[in-house]
Homo-oligomer: A and B are copies of this chain.
Amino acid sequence: MKEKKVVEEITSMSEDFAQWYTDIIKKTQLIEYSGVRGCMILQPYGFAIWENIQKGLDERFKATGHENVCMPMFIPESLLQKEKDHVEGFAPEVAWVTHGGSEKLPERLCVRPTSETLFCDYYAKIIQSYRDLPKLYNQWVSVVRWEKTTRPFLRNCEFLWQEGHTAHATAEEAQEETIKMLNVYADFCEDMLAIPVIKGQKTEKEKFAGAHATYTIESLMHDGKALQSGTSHNFGDGFAKAFGIQFSDENNELKYVHQTSWGMSTRIIGGIIMVHGDDKGLKLPPRIAPVQVVVVPIAQHKEGVIDAAEALCAKLSKVARAKLDKSDKTPGWKFSEYEMRGVPLRAEIGPKDIEKNQAVLVRRDTGEKIFVSLDEIEDTVLKLLDEIHDNMLETARAHREEMTSVAKSYDEFKDIIENKGGFVKAMWCGDTACEEKVKEDTTATARCIPFEQEHISDTCVCCGRKAEKMVYWGKAY
């Protein structure tokens, strides 16, 4: 049977999670590998997901007062070097342009790994007075980081993202912006991607190169590993001092601006795959699925079936992203194919359904079959897409809760990390040495100091000294 064959091509999650991931990405044609190591080709299906993510985020950025701009992709070496921590963090992994045509450039240019330095250079030019503030800018571009080990979506040498960069008159405003955008990301993940996230602050060790404080949203994958899904940084006035970004305030005094930056990337598509997918393949959250409902005609050679399927698809297209597959493949092949591709709903229509003025809807998340009158199918599809979203979010949340443990002792901690995986909530003294020891002993890292603190014990899970904070720990992508 062809149906089986399609499914068999995907390795089971429990057998080999990494291979399952790779199989899905290739079989569902999200990406194709390119001739350059670590650089992927986003194929139509993969790019359509990104377009929907982009649209959803962009609307939220504009609704919170941000404007889009576009910076050059090149950063002169001298500009990259202006902020000490920043250059130390990024210089080892940038791609260097040394020649234009046959001529050697007077100064090397790096391909942006991130654009703080470009925005700072720009802000130093255009900001003079408090009337020029705040600047609330964002850009949609690709960035390059010469990673040693790469994996599609999760770690690429080139990836697509957005980077917001803002400048404010006061430290308070910058902090407010930093948290506001972290919340935009968190809400977006839950409302659009059905991915529940933990919000919190990164430790000193894990924060962004040059940042005063980094905030993160962390999600949990099906295999119990964490994924940093979006970050928001408060730079304080560190970059402003390095780049000389000053403004005259209301009293005509010169002050440094306070800055933020925040980013989300195609990495989140890896998150979608690993949070929601199953052994049948992808399971796409309805609100960003390129196809929300696929219409499959049954016994399509029979008179009237194709016409009815076309009419159904036209009807559904008014309320959802609908697609009709009238190719000469068998219905069974199509069922498997669109399940593998993660299409949230399938609408089957055959001679018997036409007789009864109905169609059969099948949910990707539960497999449930629903017989619906054609007279009310639009409303039902809309309702079901919402239900699927809610169910996917709850399923993911339940999985995360199940995979979130508490550890009071270091033995317990190591045992959970090694044998169960997932998030471990445990106390921490605040010392980087303990983070380093945990990483060395278990490969787990401090994912975040969550905003929602709990008191688990009085002492650091690693060193036994007085605890400062409760931390989410875990192995991560």
Contact = CB atoms under 8 A, between A and B. Distances in A.
A34 interface: yes
A320 B72 CA distance: 31
Contact of A40 (B39, B72, B121): B72
Contact of A34 (B44, B122, B142): B122
B99 A158 contact: no
A75 to B, nearest CB: 8
B96 A99 contact: yes
B99 A95 contact: yes
Contacts of A67: 44, 47-48
A51 B68 contact: yes
Contacts of A97: 95-98, 111
Interface residues of A, number: 52
A41 B69 CA distance: 7
Contacts of A70: 41-42, 47, 50, 142, 160
A74 B158 contact: yes
B91 A101 contact: yes
B146 A100 contact: yes
A144 interface: yes
A100 B95 contact: yes
A73 interface: yes
A171 interface: no
A118 interface: yes
A125 interface: yes
A419 interface: no
Contacts of A35: 76, 79, 121
Contact of A44 (B43, B51, B69, B121): B69
A158 B91 contact: no
B98 A99 contact: yes
A418 B254 CA distance: 54
A37 to B, nearest CB: 9
Interface string A391-430: 0000000000000000000000000000000000000000
A153 interface: no
Contact of A121 (B34, B51, B73, B100): B34
A67 B100 CA distance: 32
A93 interface: yes
A68 B41 contact: no
A456 interface: no
Contact of A144 (B36, B73, B92): B73
Contacts of A142: 70, 73, 141
A195 interface: no
A154 interface: no
A84 B370 CA distance: 59
A39 B137 contact: no
Contacts of A51: 68
A137 B50 CA distance: 16
Nearest to A100: B146
Contacts of A76: 35-36
A96 B104 CA distance: 9
Interface string A144-163: 10100000000001101000
A32 interface: yes
Contact of A68 (B32, B47, B99, B102): B47
Interface in A30-69: 32, 34-36, 39-44, 47-48, 50-51, 67-69
Given A47-B67, A93-B100, 13 more contacts: A32-B122, A40-B72, A47-B68, A47-B70, A73-B73, A73-B111, A73-B144, A91-B101, A92-B101, A92-B102, A94-B100, A100-B146, A111-B111
Interface of A: 32, 34-36, 39-44, 47-48, 50-51, 67-76, 79, 91-102, 109, 111, 118, 121-122, 125-126, 137, 141-142, 144, 146, 157-158, 160
Smallest CB-CB A-B distances: 3 pairs: A39-B72, A100-B146, A44-B67
6 contacts: A32-B126, A35-B79, A41-B72, A74-B158, A96-B97, A98-B99
